Structure 1
Amino acid sequence: MILRLATALLLPVATFCFALGITQPMIRMERLYFLEDRPSLLEMVEGLWTKGDHVIAVAVALFSVGLPAVKLCLIHVAALTGGKARSLALLGAVSKWSMMDVMLVALVLFAAKTSGLAKASVLPGLWFYAAATLTTALAAMLCRRD
């Protein structure tokens, strides 16, 4: 009973944080003291796509937006169905790729900070994205135990 209540509380928080995490600015990059970029994750994917980096744009979109969204939907299904074996099996398969989203965002920040051309700082979008990652992982763990 307590696990179901905790899952019921975590899932809306995870969904809300994920939506804000991909739409709110994640990092602030200052270049040459007067130019500033504040892209969200979706804007980063769009920017990669429009600049012709289609493979990287698809990879970032898949691992940072697509698979986490699928994982979140599967957790909702598992919670609603009482953790049926099929939804948990799919959740396990998707979960194996779920840390890729965190790694990709970390690589973007690392590249911005080490290039010397820009000064980067973290904005709320990254914190919401991190919160979504943590609450989703916790909800998935609770669904498996339920």
Structure 2
Amino acid sequence: MRSIVPLLLFAATFTLAFGLTMPLMNVSKLYFFEENPSLLGIIQSLWRDGDQLLAIIVALFSVILPITKLGVAQMAIMQIAPSTRKWHQSIGVLSKWSMLDVLLVALVIFGAKTSGLATAIAQPGLWFFTISAILSAVATHFIVHKDAG
């Protein structure tokens, strides 16, 4: 199982990049107007429209936290630091928040669907983002439990 962890982390990083940049959803308004925002586009739009606090929260939990988790997991498997135990403990803390990013994106889509003014359909970016979260959760599970065992 140890040799699969680097592959899982690589795939999680690759799919996260797609998840952040590809359209998350197709939003149709009044049958005439369509938007295909990416997660980074949504954050930028929130910031531009004056919702800086919400933009920061979405960026923190949907961009910074997943990237940090993947980086810490990479450091743990590469054993760069003299004490990899601290890396493993950090992974444990970050893993507690790992699916919040997917929940946050799902809430954005739910909000668009239930507003009544628009229809929202999931696009590939959402699937890549979700796959990344799952792959990183599996990889970090193997890292943490290898350390415990």
TM-score by length of 2: 0.93
- The aligned counterpart of 1:133 is 133
Identity score, percent: 44
Number of aligned residue pairs:
144
2:62 to 57, 61, 64: 64
Distance in 1 (CA, whole Å) between partners of 2:128 and 2:35 is: 19
- The aligned counterpart of 1:43 is 41
User: 5+ unaligned residues in a row in structure 1: which ranges?
Assistant: none
Query: Aligned-pair distance for 1:145?
Result: 2.5
User: 5+ unaligned residues in a row in structure 2: which ranges?
Assistant: none
- The aligned counterpart of 2:74 is 76
- Amino acid of the structure 1 residue aligned with 2:8: L
Distance in 2 (CA, whole Å) between partners of 1:137 and 1:104 is: 17
- Amino acid of the structure 2 residue aligned with 1:20: F
- Amino acid of the structure 1 residue aligned with 2:66: P
- The aligned counterpart of 2:13 is 15
Query: Aligned-pair distance for 1:94?
Result: 1.5
Query: Aligned-pair distance for 1:122?
Result: 0.5
- The aligned counterpart of 2:3 is 5
- The aligned counterpart of 2:120 is 120
- The aligned counterpart of 2:95 is 95
SS of match in other structure, 2:66: helix
Q: Give the ranges of 4+ consecutive aligned residues of structure 1 lying more than 6 Å apart after TM superposition.
A: none
Distance in 2 (CA, whole Å) between partners of 1:9 and 1:106 is: 27
- The aligned counterpart of 1:54 is 52
